[in-house]
Structure 1
Amino acid sequence: MSETAGAGAELARTERELLRRFDPGSRALVIAGVMLVLVLSSVLPWVGGAAGWQVLVGQADPALHVGLLPRLFSINSTIVGIAVGALALVTRRWAIAWIAALAGVVVSFEGVIAIWSRQTVPNAGPGIGLVLAVVCMFVLAIQWLRIVWSRD
């Protein structure tokens, strides 16, 4: 009897462990590719002649008046789009996938506001890197939402 109870407890623990994980399937390749494009967008101009990595580390030319919103988007897109996304892909935990999905939506709209803020000032407008990063964040948010909504 105790062997049966032990096996039942082991089976229940294994089932709980499996329910905490997700299988991204082919979406993992899409997410990894978009994460790579997001990283590559940091070498393209975001604001005037300042590249995304310069905006991220705060080394953009002060004459460009980069402002808070593009810098905040660069920090959050790096954290959410790359770090949290990679963590979710590696661990395959539902909780982290939900964080990646919901935070991805927030950061995507933050990016749209960052683009808008660059269009309303007389200084340098948004660069192709900033626009590409926002598109990447929208694609990542959609992919993560599709994964978390697929839970049975």
Structure 2
Amino acid sequence: MSGEDGNGQRPSEGDAAGLDELGADVDAAVSRAAKTVEFGRRGFGIAIAVFGVVVGLLLPWVGDHVGWQVLAGEGGAIPRLFATTSALFGVLAAVAALSTRRWWLCWVCAIGSWISAVDGFLAIWSQQSSTASGAAGGGPGIGMVLAVACMLVLGVQWMRVAWSRD
């Protein structure tokens, strides 16, 4: 029965070429599917958290400086580090991962979000601790606290997405 179709007949030359083409299409589809992830409902949650990071960058972080000003270099080194990592991993990489659905970008976002969350805790700590003159810091702004919370949510969600792949 080798080389015969379901009717007991051998496939013609055109049918064999069609089967080879179909096999190549199936292999290409499987290869594409192996490189991508499906977000499901998590994608919406991630998008909301990314929006939260963007809103956090528009609210006060350090004294009178809002997040994008801290990102531009005002307000100290540790808050600027957090502003950079939250903008890079919490916004840019997340948008790239959501739009391309690449599995490796999910891992970049997962690891980067956790690094950014640690940077955020350090930034909050730097605003609450005393300075060299003995005066207490001004405390973190609402935007910094919101951005840290969103980066924690993103870290959890990206890890769940990255580990969900079979």
Specify if TM > 0.5: yes
Are residues 1:135 and 2:149 paired? yes
Counterpart secondary structure, 1:88? helix
User: 1:92, 1:126 → 2: CA distance?
Assistant: 34
Equivalent pairs, count: 146
Q: What's the CA shift for 1:7?
A: 2.6
Q: Which structure exhibits the higher relative contact order, with contacts defined as CA atoms closer than 8 Å and separated by 6 or more residues?
A: 1
Flag the structure with larger Rg.
Answer: 2
TM score, norm. by length of structure 2: 0.82
The runs of 4+ residues in structure 1 deviating greater than 4 Å are: none
User: 1:148, 1:86 → 2: CA distance?
Assistant: 15
Deviations 1:24-43 (A, max 9, x none): 01111111111111111122
Match of 2:71 in 1: 56
Deviates more, 1:33-42 or 1:4-13: 4-13
Q: 5+ residue gaps in structure 1?
A: 61-65
Q: What's the CA shift for 1:2?
A: 4.3
User: 2:102, 2:26 → 1: CA distance?
Assistant: 19
Q: Does the 8 Å CA contact 2:38/2:101 hold for their aligned counterparts?
A: yes
Report the residue type matching 1:13 in the other structure: A
User: 1:98, 1:82 → 2: CA distance?
Assistant: 15
Are residues 1:124 and 2:135 paired? no
Aligned CA-pair RMSD: 1.4
TM score, norm. by length of structure 1: 0.89
Counterpart secondary structure, 2:113? helix
Q: Does the 8 Å CA contact 2:62/2:141 hold for their aligned counterparts?
A: yes
